[in-house]
Amino acid sequence: MGLFITSLNSGSNGNCYYVGNDQEAVLIDVGISCRETEKRMARLGLSMQKVKAIFVSHEHSDHIRGIPVLAKKYNLPVYITPGTLMYLSGTNYFKVHHLSPFQIIQIGALEVTSFPKMHDAAEPHSFMVQQGDVKVGVFTDLGVVCDQLIRYFSQCHAAFLEANYDDDMLDNGGYPYHLKRRIRGGKGHLSNKQALSLFTTHRPAHMTHLLLSHLSKNNNDPKLVEELFKTCADGVDIIIASRYEETPVYHISAAVVQHEPLGQLGFDF
């Protein structure tokens, strides 16, 4: 038992996260094309037939770009807030379910909980996916570490957590002042230091995997982030979710700490 997770892509060029069990799975956002989603899942041995729903965090194109084609092709229901729905095209071709704050949606044996987050979007939400005692959080595009984020992060066995920028790289980089202000504002993105503080202060003892996500191409360095977090990992597997390729598939269990990746081994999850 347990959950299987992977980041199919993570970054401003597209975001898509997979969480599932042996029978069913959900996608959190589809910001890459339908064809690219299919290719990456196939490389991991993941079956699109097990994907039963798409959950949408917010309306920015790097999170919704691939939804219309993928949802139509596989007849997938899309769970989305009314405010976010206004920005999604092609909704006549697939079933839409309105999402409310703190709503729990049952997808087979999976329970998906949504909760509001701080970001510069209409009605942005984060998600926690649960099966039995196993909980996986998808926490990206965060302006601040709010009480709700702390509440759900502190329950997770694994989490996708934004570590968008390094403060020094942002300060010394070529972005205009207004964009720098937007990124580090209360509705922008989470810095490495903010993410690390959340991790070191509020991670639960049962957390086994942390997938650091939505790294900036220009204002961050994967090696820097990995080294920063590994010094404080204390047994937690630290994985950098790439903007160029999928991660391996990881098995998340409440009973057994398993640190070996399962992806790219031909499993048909």
Assigned domain for 108 exists: yes
Assigned domain for 34 exists: yes
* Contact by Cβ (8 Å): 81, 64: no
pLDDT(258) > 50? no
The model's confidence at residue 113, banded by pLDDT at 50, 70 and 90, is very high
Q: What is the pLDDT of residue 63?
A: 98
Strand order across the 134-139 sheet: 104-107, 110-116, 125-131, 134-139, 158-162, 209-213, 237-240
Assigned domain for 96 exists: yes
If one counts the domains in the chain, the total is 1
Dig out the tokens for 224 from the structure: 């820097």
Angle of CA points 156, 115, 66, to nearest 5°: 90
Q: What is the pLDDT of residue 1?
A: 77
* Contact by Cβ (8 Å): 88, 59: yes
Assigned domain for 140 exists: yes
Q: What is the pTM of this model?
A: 0.94
* Contact by Cβ (8 Å): 112, 26: yes
What CATH number does residue 56 fall under?
Answer: 3.60.15.10
Give the tens place of pLDDT for each residue, 167-226.
999 999 999 999 999 999 999 999 999 999 999 999 999 999 999 999 999 999 999 999
The model's confidence at residue 255, banded by pLDDT at 50, 70 and 90, is low
Assigned domain for 260 exists: no
- Which uninterrupted H or E stretch holds 128? strand 125-131
Give the tens place of pLDDT for each residue, 39-91.
999 999 999 999 999 999 999 999 999 999 999 999 999 999 999 999 999 99
Query: What's the whole-number mean pLDDT along residues 243-261?
Result: 79
Assigned domain for 261 exists: no
Q: Which domain holds residue 109?
A: 3-252
Assigned domain for 258 exists: no
